Structure 1
Amino acid sequence: MGRYRVRVATGSSVFAGSKNQVQLWLVGELGEAALELRLRPCRGKEEEFNVEVSKVLGPLLFVKVRKHRILTEDNWFCERITVQGPGDSGVEATFPCYRWVLSDGILCIPEGTARTVRNDPQGFFKKYREEELEERKKKYSWNSWKENVVRTVSGAGLSDLPLDERFHEEKRIDFECSLAKGLTDLAIKDTLNILSSWKTLEDFNRIFWCGQSKLAEKVRDLWKEDSFFGYQFLNGANPMLLRRSTKLPARLKLPPGSEDLQAELERHCQAGSLFEADFSLLDGIQANVILCCQQYLAAPLVMLKLEPDGTLLPMAIQIQVPGVGLPNPPVFLPSDPPMTWLLAKAWVRSSDFQLHQLQFHLLRGHLMAEVISVATMRCLPTLHPIFKILIPHLRYTMEINIRARTGLVSNGGVFDQVVSTGGGGHVTVLQKAGKYLQYRSLCPPYDLADRGLLGVSSSYYAQDALRVWDIIKRYVEGIVYLYYKGDEDVENDTELQVWCKEITEIGLHGAQDREFPTSFHSREELCWFVAMCIFTCTGQHSSVHQGQLDWYAWVPNAPCTMRMPPPTTKDVTLEMVMATLPNFHQASLQMSLTWQLGRAQPNMVPLGQHKEEYFSGSAALAVLNRFREELAVLDKEIRERNSKLDLPYEYLQPSRVENSVTI
C-alpha cells in the first residue's frame, strides 16, 4: 500500500499514440490493484502519474493493460511502463512492452528481469509463460511457401501478419515511395530508349544512375579488368562462393593441348594459391522464357590464382552448356581475343548474380532469418533471456519477406519478368541449395576455414566477418552465462530445447543430417547457435545485401539474364555480346531494383544500437554496453583501414550493418 509513481512511454511512430482510454493494474506477489487513472497515450511521450494503492502488493510481477475502444479502434504502441514503489527508497520496476495494444482483452506485461523456467521456483510466471506461448502459436504458424523450401510464416499477404510484425508507418511510407519512384524512373527510361539503338557497351550508360554510388562508378570504369573480376569473389556482392582448391576439380575438362595450363594449375594448387568458384548448382536449371523469348543459363567453373600481393586473377573459365553435354566444354583463357574473354567473364558474373540472389541472399539471409523468427515467437516467451537477446534482430523480417514472396519471386514477379532463373527455375535453385545448407556454413570460423580463406590478406570480408562474429559471440556468452550457471541448466530448459528442435526439424525440414542441432547439452553449444542466429540476421545479411547497388548498377558487370546461349567457340563479336546481355528494358529494371534494394535506408538501426530495452538489471545492461563498445572500436578500425584502400570494404562496418533483416 502507498503511493506509486507510474510512467508510461509511448512509441514515436506516426500512429503510436491513441485516443482510446487505457486502464492499468499492478500485480504483485501479495495482491493486485486496479489503478483509478485513465490515460489517452500521446505519441512519443512518457507520461507520469502518482497513484494511491490501498492494498499491500509486495514485489511487482506484472502490469496489466486494457485499452477501451471509443467509437473506433485506435491501436496504441506501448514501449514500456516503469513503476516505482512507495517511499523514497521504493524499488523501481520496468515492464518492457514494445508491442501494439489492441482492444481485444487484457495485455499482461511481465517485469523485465529475464527468467528461464527454472528461475521461477515459486511459479509466479508459469501460467503466464504457458498462456503466452499458446496464444503466440495461434498467431504464428508454419507454412510451406514452396515444396522442399525452408518453411516460412503462414499468410498469403501482409494483412495476415500479426500487427507486431508489420512495418511502422515511417518505414512503410519510405519503402512504398521508393518503390514508386523506381517504377516511375523505369517508365521514363523505357520511353526514352524505346526507339534508341542498343549496339555498344557504352549504351548501358543511358540507364546508369550516376551519383548513387561512387563504387558503382568505379565498377563501370574497371569491370573489364581481370583483377577487378577476381576481387569480386573476395569482397564483392557475393563473397560466399570462392574456395581454395586442394586438388583440380573433377568437373574441370581441359581440351587437348592444355598441358601447360594444367601444369600451371597444379603448381598453384600445390603452393596453396589456386582457388575455384563452382556454379554447378545451376546445372540442369530450366531457364526462363520472357515475353516468348527464351533466356539462357550456364554452370561455369572458374579457376583463379592468388598472387603474392593479394591480387586474385582468373586463369581459366569453363562454361558447361546446359543440355548439350559436350565431352570437352569450352575453356576460355585470358589470352583469348578480348571480346571472347569478356563474354566468358560476363557469363560467370550472370551466374553469380543468380546464386547470390537466391542461394546466399534469399535463402541463407532472408529465409533463414524468418525460420529463426517464427520459431522464436512460437517457442520462447517474453521472459526468456534468449528471446530478449534475439528479438531486436528479428524486427520487420516477416514483412519484408512476404513482400519479397509477393513481388520479387512470385508468379509474374520481378524474377519472372527479367531474371534468367525466373519462371520456376528460381524455386528449383532454392530447393537444391536448401539440401546443401550446412550449419557450419552459417558460422564464419567454420565456413572460412572450410573454404580456405583464413589468412588471405586481401579478403576483407573474411577478416571483418570473423571480428564481427567474435564480438557477437562474446555478447551472447555474457548473457548466457548470466542466466545459465552450468550446462545442466541448459539441458533442463524445456522451452530452449523445443525452440532448437523446432528450427531444425520443422523450419529446416529436418536438417540434423547437416549438423544443425536438435538439442543443446552445454552453454557453449547454446552460445554458438545463438551467435549464428544473430550473425545471420545482421552481419551475414549485410555482407550479401549492401553491395547490390555498388556491384549490380552497371548491368554488364552482373547481367540479370542472358538472351543468347553460351558460346561454344571463341569466335565472339561485339554484336554477339550485345545480343546476349540484357536489353534496355531488362537492364533498366535491374538498375531500378538495385537502387530500391541497395540504397541507404533512412530508418536503419545499426547493429547493437536498438533503443528497445528488453532486459532489466544492471548486469545484462553492462553486457550490452560492452557489446556496443567493442563494435565501436571495430568500426573505427575498419574506417581507418578503408581510408588507405582504393576500394574500401564497408559492408561489415558495424555502423553500416543493419540490426535485423529489414530490406
Structure 2
Amino acid sequence: MAEYKLEMTTGDMPYAGTSDYVYVTLFGTEGKSERTLMDNYGIDFQRGATGSYTVKTSFSLGKLLLVKVEKVQYLYLPEDEWYFSKMVVTTPEGDVILYPCYRWIGRGEPVELRGGRAMKAFEDNHPLLIDHRKKELMLKRNFYQWKIMDEGLSHINSFNDVSELPAEIRFSDSRAADILYSKAKTGIELKVKGLYGSTAQWETIEDIKKIFWYKKTTMSEYVAEHWTEDDFYGYQFLNGVNPGVIKRCSELPTNFPVTEEMVKPFLEEGSSLQKEMEKGNMFLYDQKKMDGIPPRVYNSEPLHVTAGLCLFYSNWENKLMPIAIQLNQQPSEKNPIFLPSDPETDWLLAKMFIKNADCMDHESVHHLVRTHFLAEVFAVAALRRFPAIHPFYKLLFPHFRHTLHINTRARVSLLGPDGALSKSSLGFDGLLEVMRRAVSEMTYSSLCLPEKIAAQGLESIPNFYYRDDGLKLWNIINSFVKAVVEHYYPSDSEVHKDTELQEWISEIFTRGFLGNKDLGIPAAFYSVEEVVKFTTMVIFTTTVQHAAVNSGQYDFLAWAPNGTLLLRKPPPTTKGQSSMKTVLETLPDVGDTVSFAALTWLLSDRYTDYIPLGRYPDERFDEPEPKQMIKEFQAELSYLSEAIKARNSHLELPYTYLDPVEIENSVSI
C-alpha cells in the first residue's frame, strides 16, 4: 500500500470556495490511482483554506506525471465556481511536488495539472505528457484567437465582451465593483453640480477648480496653480504623463526657421543659438506625425489640430524652457513662430495647442498603442503558444493579469462612439490614423529604454527623473530575466530547439508588428542574449512604461488648461489678437471638461487586487533557483524604492510614478 499526501489550497478571494464534491486522480509512469473523493470531517474547500488529504494506492505510481481534479455537484445546490490555487503532493518516496492551478473551475470541468520543474517541449519524453501538452495548446489556440481591429494596427483578442473571458484573467468581482463604485460616485457628484453634459462655456479659469470636491492630489493642486509657468511646462516633457518625447537638437529643421534674433533674449548672456546647440542644450518636440490628418467635425465645423514644433532650452538653472513654438509644419505668414516675449495669452495659447496634440499623442500612441495594445499582443501570443508548464508561461503570465479585460473594455470606453478619444480634436478616425502611423514607426530600439534615451540624445539633460528611475528599473528587470532565462536555457541551442518559444516570437512579429522587418523586431530567436533583451522589454513595457504614462493622468490632465484632448477654437495665426476670453472659448465646454477629468481619475486610481512590480502571490515555479531569483529581484526593487523616496524627500515636485511600489505588475487599468 502506498500513500500520497495532498495539500490543496483554495483561493483567498470572495466566492472562491465551493460546497461541491472534489475528486482527484493521480497519474504516474507506473499507472494511475483510483478516483478519490477529497473529504475530511467538516466543510472542505472554504475560501483561503488549505486542506490535507490522502490518496491510497496498492502500488507506487512511479514518477508522477499528472493530477486530474474534478468538481461534481453536491446534492441539489446551485453551481458555484471554485478558485483552486495549488496542490502540493508528497509521494511515498518523499518527493514534494507543486501543482499550480490558479484558476476557476466549474462543475463537470475536469482539470489536468502538471507539476514539478518547468519544462520545455523537447524535454518531455513520456507519451502521456507529450499528448497532454499537445491537447492543452490545441484547446488554447482554439479559445484565444486573433482579430483585426483596423488595417495597420496591431491585432487584438477576438472576444467582443469581457464576459467571454475566462474568470482567471477577468477582473475579480471586488475590483469590478470598486471601479463601478468610483465611476458612479464621480458621475453623481458631477450631475449634482449640474456639470455633467453641460454645453456651457467656462466663465473663469478659477471655476474649473470646482469640478471635484474631494478628488484632489498634491500634484493636481500644483498643476492648477503653476500651469502657465514656462519652467513647469518644460518639466512636464521630462517628468509628466508623456515623458521623454523630445530629442536633442543639433540642427534646426528647415521648416522651423527660428532665428538668432528671436531667441537670443532667452539664452544665457553672451551665448548664441548655435553655441547652445553645440553644447547639447537645445531640444525639439516635433508632432509631424499628425500633419495632414483631418480633424473631427464639431458643431458642423471642423476642429483644428496643430502638428507643431516646440524648441526647448535647458538653461543655466537646469530648467527646461520652451523658447519658440510654430503651430504647423510649414512656415508662413499665418503660421508665425511664437515666443515667450509675445503677448501673454498668445504664448499661452501656443503652448496649449502643443499640449493638445501631445495629449492626443499620449493617449492614443504612448498609452494605448505602446503599452496596452503591445501588452495584449504579448499576452495573446503567450496564451496561445505556451502550456502552463513552460518556463515562459510561469515567468510572464503575472505580467498579463487583467490585460485582456481592460483592453476589451477600453475599446468601448475610450474608442467607442461616446469614448473620450472619439471626442478629441482628431476624433476616432483621426486618432486611428495617428495610431497606424505610430505602429509603422514603432522600432524595437524605441521600446528599449537605454537605446531610446541614447538615440534621442537625452543622456545628460538634468532633472530627468523618468530616465533615471526607468534606466535603473530596466537594469534590475534585465538582471532578473537574465538569471531566469539562463537557468532554463544554458546555451543558444536550447533556444533554437524550443519550438514554442519560437512560435511565440513569430506571432508577436506578425500580429503585433505586422511582419515589418524594418522595425528591427525579431521574427525568431537565435541566442540566449536575444531572448533576455526581448523579455526584458516585454516586462518593462507591461509594468514600468505603463506606470509612467498612466499613473499621473489625473495629476497632470484633470486641470484642462494644462492639457486636454479637445480645443474648440482655431489656433492663433497673428499676434496680439487674443485675450483670456479667447483662452476660455478655446477650452472644451463644461460637460466635455468634466468628462475628461472624470476619466483621468478612473485611470489613475488604485483598485482592489493591486499587485506591485515583482510581487508574485501565485506560486508557479517549483524549483528553488527561480524562487531565489524572485527574492533577489524583490530585494533590488526594495532598495530602489528606498532610494527614490530619499531623493523625492528633497524635491519640490517628487517624481513617484516609477517607485517600484507604485508600479502595477501588469497592464490592469
Task: Report the TM-score, using the length of structure 2 for normalisation.
Answer: 0.94
Amino acid at match of 2:372: H
How far apart are residue 445 of structure 1 and its match? 0.9
- Find out whether 1:310 has 2:282 as its counterpart: no
How far apart are residue 636 of structure 1 and its match? 0.5
Structure 1 residue aligned with 2:207: 203
Amino acid at match of 1:7: E
Structure 2 residue aligned with 1:156: 160
| 1:65-104 paired onto structure 2 within 5 Å | 65-69=69-73, 71=76, 72-86=78-92, 90-104=94-108
d(CA) in 2 for partners of 1:160, 1:286: 36
d(CA) in 2 for partners of 1:367, 1:209: 34
Change in 2 beyond 3 A, CA 1:481/1:148: same
Query: 1:12 aligns to what SS in structure 2?
Result: coil
| 1:97-112 paired onto structure 2 within 5 Å | 97-112=101-116
Alignment partner of 1:301 out of 295, 309, 333? 309
| 1:524-543 paired onto structure 2 within 5 Å | 524-543=529-548
- Find out whether 1:655 has 2:654 as its counterpart: no
d(CA) in 2 for partners of 1:572, 1:467: 45
Percent sequence identity is: 35
Change in 2 beyond 3 A, CA 1:107/1:56: same
In the alignment, structure 2 segments of 5+ residues that lack a partner are none
- Is residue 296–residue 420 contact of structure 1 (8 Å, CA) maintained in 2? yes
State the number of aligned residues: 658
Amino acid at match of 1:285: I
- Is residue 182–residue 593 contact of structure 1 (8 Å, CA) maintained in 2? no
Change in 2 beyond 3 A, CA 1:104/1:364: farther
Change in 2 beyond 3 A, CA 1:440/1:298: same
Superposed CA deviations along residues 107-157 of structure 1, whole A, max 9, x for unmatched, are 111004111123334555222221111000011000111222111100221
- Find out whether 1:493 has 2:501 as its counterpart: no
Structure 2 residue aligned with 1:353: 359
Structure 2 residue aligned with 1:25: 25
d(CA) in 2 for partners of 1:511, 1:223: 41
Structure 2 residue aligned with 1:642: 648
| 1:474-553 paired onto structure 2 within 5 Å | 474-553=479-558
Superposed CA deviations along residues 427-479 of structure 1, whole A, max 9, x for unmatched, are 11111111111111111111111111123331000011111011111111111
Structure 2 residue aligned with 1:556: 561
- Is residue 394–residue 620 contact of structure 2 (8 Å, CA) maintained in 1? yes
Query: 1:52 aligns to what SS in structure 2?
Result: strand
d(CA) in 2 for partners of 1:553, 1:229: 15
d(CA) in 2 for partners of 1:145, 1:383: 31
| 1:261-660 paired onto structure 2 within 5 Å | 264-290=272-298, 292=300, 294-320=302-328, 326=332, 329-416=335-422, 418-570=423-575, 571-660=577-666
How far apart are residue 158 of structure 1 and its match? 1.4
d(CA) in 2 for partners of 1:232, 1:209: 25
Change in 2 beyond 3 A, CA 1:259/1:304: closer
Change in 2 beyond 3 A, CA 1:85/1:423: closer
- Is residue 199–residue 590 contact of structure 2 (8 Å, CA) maintained in 1? no
Query: 1:313 aligns to what SS in structure 2?
Result: strand
- Is residue 198–residue 589 contact of structure 2 (8 Å, CA) maintained in 1? no
How far apart are residue 76 of structure 1 and its match? 1.3
- Find out whether 1:34 has 2:14 as its counterpart: no
d(CA) in 1 for partners of 2:99, 2:460: 47
How far apart are residue 201 of structure 1 and its match? 1.7
Amino acid at match of 2:476: I
- Find out whether 1:129 has 2:137 as its counterpart: no
Amino acid at match of 1:430: M
Superposed CA deviations along residues 4-29 of structure 1, whole A, max 9, x for unmatched, are 22111111221222222221111222
Superposed CA deviations along residues 224-281 of structure 1, whole A, max 9, x for unmatched, are 1110000000000000311111321233134897595899433221111110111112
Change in 2 beyond 3 A, CA 1:290/1:44: farther
- Is residue 253–residue 328 contact of structure 1 (8 Å, CA) maintained in 2? no
How far apart are residue 74 of structure 1 and its match? 1.9
How far apart are residue 79 of structure 1 and its match? 0.7
Change in 2 beyond 3 A, CA 1:597/1:109: same
Structure 2 residue aligned with 1:60: 64
Alignment partner of 2:254 out of 239, 250, 255? 250
Mean CA deviation greater in 246-255 or 156-165: 246-255
How far apart are residue 634 of structure 1 and its match? 0.5
d(CA) in 2 for partners of 1:120, 1:216: 55
In the alignment, structure 1 segments of 5+ residues that lack a partner are none
How far apart are residue 414 of structure 1 and its match? 2.7
Query: 1:6 aligns to what SS in structure 2?
Result: strand
Structure 1 residue aligned with 2:7: 7
Mean CA deviation greater in 56-65 or 531-540: 56-65
d(CA) in 2 for partners of 1:68, 1:210: 49
Superposed CA deviations along residues 159-199 of structure 1, whole A, max 9, x for unmatched, are 23233321111111111221222222232233599598722
How far apart are residue 541 of structure 1 and its match? 0.3
How far apart are residue 34 of structure 1 and its match? 2.7
- Is residue 97–residue 115 contact of structure 2 (8 Å, CA) maintained in 1? yes
